[in-house]
Chain A
Amino acid sequence: MRHLLIIDETEAEAGLTPAGDDLYILHDAEGSHEVSFHGYAVRVDDVMDRVAVAVDGNVAYVHLNGRAHRVEFREPVDRFARGGAGGGADAIAAPMPGSVVAVNVEAGQSVAAGQVMMVIESMKLETAIKAPRDAVIETVHVSAGKTFNKGAPLIALVPLEEE
């Protein structure tokens, strides 16, 4: 079975099957490789490399050759969820972590494409969150003064087919 993993921002598909004695076969796009992993070292075919790994739920952080990578395991159900329901344009997510300076809209309100819905501040820079299209506001998830992380939902628009 193939798994979908997101390495940093790149998608990768790979399978893993056991080969006995803590050995596994990694099946990636280019072929099959015998692999094993012992806490601080990963072996692929006959080459051993030092790595450091930390796991947080479905995310593994892997340090290799002086660089840290974020590897997220995507549940198959998430893949369907992302593919359907009219695209992500209805959910306005934070482009970077920061705080809310001002909220100019409220639920139920109509906005025109390009209208400034919210002003956020990150790295001492203010950024205007503008409406991507003519829309009706479904939900405002944050209020002025609140801080948020990257990817946090800020505003939801009523999906087009429901308007």
Chain B
Amino acid sequence: MTRHLPFDTVLVANRGEIALRILRTVKRLGLRGAIVFHAADKGAPAIKAADIAIEIKGPTPVAAFLDGAQIIEAAKTAGAGAIHPGYGFLSENAGFARAVAAAGIAFVGPLPDAIELMGDKVRARKFVADRGFPVAPSAIEDDDPATFVERARAVGAPLLIKPSAGGGGKGMRIVRDLAELDEEIVRARSEGQRYFGDGRLYVERFVENPRHIEVQVMGDGHGNVVHLFERECSVQRRFQKIVEETPSPALTPEQRRDICETAAGIARAADYRNAGTVEFIYGNGEFFFLEMNTRLQVEHPVTEEITGLDLVEIQLLVAAGEMLPVTQETITATGHAIELRIYAESPARGFVPTTGKLLAVQWPEGPGIRMDSGIARGQAVTTAFDPMLAKLIVHGTDRSDAIAKAREALADTILLGCETNVAFLDRLLADEVFVKGEVHTGTLDARPDIAEEPPLTAEETRRVLAAAMLSLRPTRDAADRIPAIHAAIGAWRN
């Protein structure tokens, strides 16, 4: 690399797959990679991949990664001129971004003001709405009780009436025909009074079978902002994403252009610097701003696959004060990419996290297959951190090609010693609801059968038993103690 950046060492203030993924780009750019680690991750591949590894401590492993002062100290010790926070932990902490800058170190992320603005959901929504971008229409009775019904009507159908004091879905009413608005308000008011002793109401646009669609944006602080197309992340459990893909199967080319330009417009209005993601809720052909995430996202690889760009590289260049190396016209999208998050969890038992020791780890390989993983054989999976073990990313010529590739790759994925969601991911990809691209954020709740583990057939049970009993010492030894001549009668003896 002939690029001259104002820093030669980058400290990664994160762990697991994202730490390893950031280090990969850092080293490719000819920079030195430093990392902080907690003893709970002893032996993790990211620690081995770093040029310098500095141990951090805390009352819990997570607390160590939230200790900004300790991390800045580590950066100084490592001689790092930049800190990449990854996602989670301190990545969206404005105070940390300020402290890093005050220490004379480049923060690989947005300016603290942008983190603060977008971190405050109410301020962010107002900022976006004031600049004419779409937010879900709503009306709060308390704002001006006299005009409430009129303002509620302006929200448009379908709409949702909620008791202001409510919660848990009690007293909520969906209005699909505005002609019924008046009487539904009366009913909702009496229900709110009955359930909560408070009849005040709140109305918002109801998005039926909502889909989560987000847009990757990138700015350089020199007036340049681009979008890198959308990602659809509607497959969720407990508000956490499991599968992400791009392009979204829900959008027409016109809607796609609209949503991407809206996201770039919001980033431009905020004079946004570095990588960010504008999240939207989409349904009934409309999309509304939800929030903006001011960091690199877990699902950024699908964007990298279709654009051929390295988002971490662009992040580092921008953090070094350079202009974006791309313009909107030069960014193109090719094919279809899907990311599957491999979690240590039990889908059949309500997606509870699982623990264990990884006795065997085998990842799929081949053209169009990318594994972003931070784990290795022999490592313990504990509840100390997030249960995500790895991400499988596939890139196909079109959506059905990508799905086929993903299913082949899942079949080649072997993780033994800790229960994972790998088999569930395959059931999901095989299900018609996913194949047809009809998934919305409530799909997994509506279809608990996808999470269910089908029972083993008699033939499968026999194979599992044979492999296990010939591998386990007690059963194999017991068999080997029987002389083969006696064994012949064993079949009818027991």
Residue numbers of A with Cβ under 8 A of B are: 1-3, 5, 7-8, 10, 12, 14-20, 24-28, 30, 32-33, 35-37, 42, 44, 49, 51-56, 58, 60-71, 73, 75, 96-99, 122-123, 145, 147, 149-150
Query: Which B-chain residue is minimally distant from A21 (CB atoms)?
Result: B484
Interface size, chain B (Cβ < 8 Å): 59
Provide the main secondary structure of the chain A interface.
Answer: strand
Minimum C-beta distance from A57 to chain B (A): 9
Q: Please, which residues of chain A bring their CB within 8 A of the CB of B351?
A: 123
CB of B426 within 8 A of CB of A16, answer: no
Task: Indicate if the CB atoms of B494 and A12 lie closer than 8 Å.
Answer: no
- Complex contact B461–A56 (CB within 8 A): no
Check if B479 sits within 8 Å of A64, measured CB to CB: no
Let me know if B416 and A63 touch, CB within 8 A.
yes
Distance between Cα atoms of A37 and B453 in the complex (Å): 26
Minimum Cβ distance to chain B for residue A35 (Å): 4
Contact residues of B between 429 and 446, Cβ < 8 Å to A: none
Listed A/B pairs (5) with beta-carbon separation below 8 Å: A16-B470, A18-B483, A19-B484, A54-B416, A71-B468
Please tell me if B469 contacts chain A, counting CB pairs below 8 Å: yes
Tell whether A20 pairs with B478 under 8 Å between CB atoms, given A28-B461, A122-B353, A147-B384.
Answer: no
User: Contacts A17-B490, A19-B487; is A147 near B382 (CB within 8 Å)?
Assistant: yes
Stretch at the interface among B73-81, B108-116, B117-125, B417-425: B417-425
Complex interface: chain B residues within 8 A of A96 (CB): 349, 352-353
Closest to A7 in B: B464
Is B471 touching A55 in the complex (CB atoms < 8 A)? yes
The verdict on A56 contacting B417 (CB below 8 Å), with A37-B467, A66-B410 known, is yes
- Rounded to whole angstroms, the CA-CA distance of A87 and B476 in the bound complex is 31
Q: List chain B residues, Cβ under 8 A from A33.
A: 462, 466
Whether the Cβ atoms of B466 and A37 lie closer than 8 Å is: yes
Counting from the closest, the 6 A-B pairs by CB-CB distance are: A54-B359, A17-B487, A61-B416, A71-B468, A17-B490, A37-B470
Contact of A51 among B384, B419, B467 (CB under 8 A): B467
Q: Type the 1/0 row for B439-462, where 1 means its CB is closer than 8 Å to any CB of A.
A: 000000000000001011011111
CB distance from B131 to the nearest CB of A (A): 34
* B69, CB-defined interface residue at 8 Å: no
Contacts of B478 in A (CB 8 A): 1, 3, 16
In the complex, whether B149 has a CB less than 8 A from a CB of chain A is no
Whether A44 and B471, one on each chain, are in contact in the complex, defined by CB atoms closer than 8 angstroms, is no
Indicate whether B491 reaches chain A with its CB closer than 8 angstroms: yes
B458-A30 in contact (CB<8A): yes
- Known pairs A7-B465, A60-B471; list 19 more (Cβ under 8 Å): A15-B494, A16-B475, A17-B486, A19-B487, A25-B487, A35-B466, A37-B470, A49-B463, A55-B359, A61-B416, A66-B411, A67-B423, A68-B422, A69-B456, A97-B382, A122-B352, A123-B238, A145-B59, A147-B384
Inter-subunit contact A16/B469 (CB<8 Å)? yes
On whether the beta carbons of B472 and A73 are closer than 8 Å, the reply is yes
Contacts of B459 in A (CB 8 A): 44
Contact with B468, one of A62, A97, A98, A99 (Cβ below 8 angstroms): A62
Interface string of B352-383 (1 = CB under 8 A from A): 11110101101000000000000000000011
Known: A69-B456, A73-B474. A28 touches B490 (CB 8 A): no
A65 to B454 alpha-carbon distance, docked (Å): 12
Specify which of A20, A36, A70 lies most central, judged by the most chain B CB atoms within 10 Å of its CB.
A70
User: A20-B484, A52-B360, A123-B353 given as contacts; is B472 within 8 A of A15 (CB)?
Assistant: no
Contacts of B355 in A (CB 8 A): 97, 149-150
How far is B320's CA from A139's CA once the two chains are assembled, in angstroms? Answer: 58
Interface string of B315-339 (1 = CB under 8 A from A): 0000000000000000000000000
B464 touches A28 (CB 8 A): no
- A26 to B468 alpha-carbon distance, docked (Å): 11
Residues of A within 8 A of B422 (CB): 66-68
A17 / chain B contacts, CB cutoff of 8 Å: 479, 482, 486-487, 490-491
Contact, CB under 8 Å: A1 / B383: no
Chain A residues within an 8 Å CB radius of B467 = 37, 42, 51, 53, 60, 62, 64
Query: Is B362 within 8 A of A64, CB to CB?
Result: no
Check if A53 sits within 8 Å of B487, measured CB to CB.
no
A66 to chain B: closest residue by CB? B411
Whether a CB of chain A sits under 8 angstroms from the CB of B155 is no
Q: Name B410's closest neighbour in chain A (CB-CB).
A: A66
Residues B353 and A68 in contact, CB atoms below 8 Å apart: no
